[in-house]
Amino acid sequence: MKTILTGLATLGFGVMLTVGGALAQEQHSEAEPTHFPIEKPHQESWSFAGPFGTYDKGQLQRGLKVYKEVCSSCHSMKLVAFRSLEELGYTEDQVKALAAEYDIQDGPNADGEMFTRKGIPTDYFPSPFPNDAAAAASNGGAAPPDFSLIAKARAVERGFPTFIFDIFTQYAEAGPDYIHALLTGYDHTPPEGMEIPEGTHYNPYFIAGKSLAMPKPIDDGQVTYDDGSPETLDQYSRDVSAFLMWAAEPHLEARKRTGFRVMVFLVLFAGLVYLVKRRVWANVAH
């Protein structure tokens, strides 16, 4: 049976590799690509990767600053409440002050009027546009997507056999890798003969086409950091990607911490049950 199995496995691998090769060759015309993204994102190193990953609070604070000063003029983040920013290392008062920077629509009051008030920690980040149609109208027909889950809502396909190795390397950072690649991927010149539709911008890392409606949103020196971190496009992109991962998965640290305890328990328990099993079956040939 072992020989049959190995035979089959080799056969299966052989077939898949040939087909994979055939397909790779199919992607030919540089000017008219049919599969996106044109370039796969690079795998960056993230503090929150791996079984013991944790968020780097300084980085999240910088990412929040980038979001507030740059991205938030176009992108909403409706599911994130100010109160949760305490997880980034801010004190209650700092969060209160931060929320108060925003004007929030509320009401109706007793007179039936809508009114505007200062934000409080239980409010959510307000959206830059009143609705999706308005957002699309102001951005050349493409509404900037909401940011609450963007880091989990984008993942470039890894392909065979990488997707199998990913299980063992615990690769779960496709989202931030993608955002980082997209933000730093603007300054390429499109290949000769490629037509870029009016009002869109070439970016070989964009997952859904050769160009997107978002112009290069951020560049070197645009946001001031007060912790001495480099004020470069690459650093901004890293920080905002990490921040967006936190926004999408705020309980990541608790998840991995709990996971470790559960795994240790299960492995020890499995060992004990195995010993019992051996003992019980010791005198029975089976």
- Total of chain residues touching other proteins, rule CB under 8 A: 55
Q: Which residues contact 35 (CB under 8 A, 6 or more apart)?
A: 27
- Mark 91-130 with x for binding to ligand HEC (rule: CB under 6 A) and - for no binding: ----------------------------------------
By the rule CB under 8 A, 266 interacts with other proteins: yes
Residue burial 150-189, b: 16+ Cβ < 10 Å; e: rest: bbbebbbeeeeeeeeeeeeeebbbbbbbbbbbbbbbbeee
Report the partner that residue 85 touches, choosing among ligand HEC, other proteins, none (CB closer than 5 to 8 A by kind).
none
Q: Which position among 56, 74, 81, 252 is part of the footprint of ligand HEC (CB under 6 A)? A: 74
214 is in an annotated binding site: yes
Q: What is the DSSP string of 87-124?
A: GGT--HHHHHHHHHTSEEEE---TTS--EEEE--TTSB
Q: What is the DSSP string of 225-276?
A: -SS----SHHHHHHHHHHHHHHHH-TTHHHHHHHHHHHHHHHHHHHHHHHHH
Q: Which position among 64, 66, 149, 174 is part of the footprint of ligand HEC (CB under 6 A)? A: 66
Nearer to ligand HEC, 79 or 207 (CB): 207
Q: How far apart are CA 72 and CA 66, in angstroms?
A: 9
The sign of the CA dihedral 217, 222, 228, 232 is positive
Q: Which residues contact 139 (CB under 8 A, 6 or more apart)?
A: 74, 213, 214
By the rule CB under 6 A, 71 interacts with ligand HEC: yes
By the rule CB under 6 A, 80 interacts with ligand HEC: no
Contact set with other proteins (CB under 8 A) = 1, 4-5, 8, 11-12, 15-16, 19, 22-23, 26, 51, 79, 84, 145, 148-149, 152-155, 160, 166-167, 170, 172, 174-175, 208, 248, 250-251, 254-256, 258-260, 262-263, 266-267, 269-270, 273-274, 276-277, 280-281, 283-286
Task: Detail the residues annotated as belonging to a binding site for heme c.
Answer: 71, 74-75, 214
Contact set with ligand HEC (CB under 6 A) = 66, 70-71, 73-75, 139, 142, 144-145, 150, 154, 179, 182-183, 207-208, 212-214, 217-218, 240
Task: Detail the residues annotated as belonging to a binding site.
Answer: 71, 74-75, 214
